[in-house]
Amino acid sequence: MTGVNPAYQPPALRRRSPPTPPSPEPPASGECGAVIGGLMVLGLEYGMAEAYDSDAFQNTFEKVGAFVEKFKEHHGNLNCQQLIGLNVFSEEGLKEFMDKDIKLTQCVKYVEDAVKIVEEIINQD
């Protein structure tokens, strides 16, 4: 009888050596990836199907505003560096991110909350 190896971890959860940071400075905006993902989903759900659809634009604008407001209520900020307390675009910050498993200890919560907020917004319709 074969069993699951207790040491097995899905690839997404395995510890990896920190990659070389892409640049010494974060992108201009620096929003959390969970926030960006949530906004993308809202854009796909409510965005304009026709050019110059001002009603869809306004509706999407309101949904995005509701998302941003709710995420800030929960976490106080949208910025990755502010949320996790590290600059992952520096070698030191990225190393600490990897060493402390920030993805699993903090980022997962931001993703879960972003999904819940998007679900609440979509389910209001």
- 15 domain residue, yes or no: no
What pLDDT is attached to residue 9?
A: 54
- 24 domain residue, yes or no: no
CA quadruple 122, 53, 65, 87: dihedral, nearest 10 = 100
What pLDDT is attached to residue 53?
A: 86
Domain that holds residue 40: 29-123
- 71 domain residue, yes or no: yes
Three-state SS at 31: strand
- 80 domain residue, yes or no: yes
What pLDDT is attached to residue 1?
A: 42
What pLDDT is attached to residue 15?
A: 56
What pLDDT is attached to residue 109?
A: 97
Q: What value, to the nearest 5°, has the Cα angle with vertex 93 and ends 91 and 98? A: 95
- 1 domain residue, yes or no: no
What pLDDT is attached to residue 24?
A: 53
Helix axes 54-75, 33-46, angle to 10 degrees: 150
**What is the count of structural domains for the chain?**
1
What pLDDT is attached to residue 93?
A: 92
pLDDT tens for the chain, residues 1 to 125:
445 555 555 555 555 555 555 555 555 568 999 999 999 999 999 988 888 888 989 999 999 999 999 999 999 999 999 999 999 888 999 999 999 999 999 999 999 999 999 999 999 98
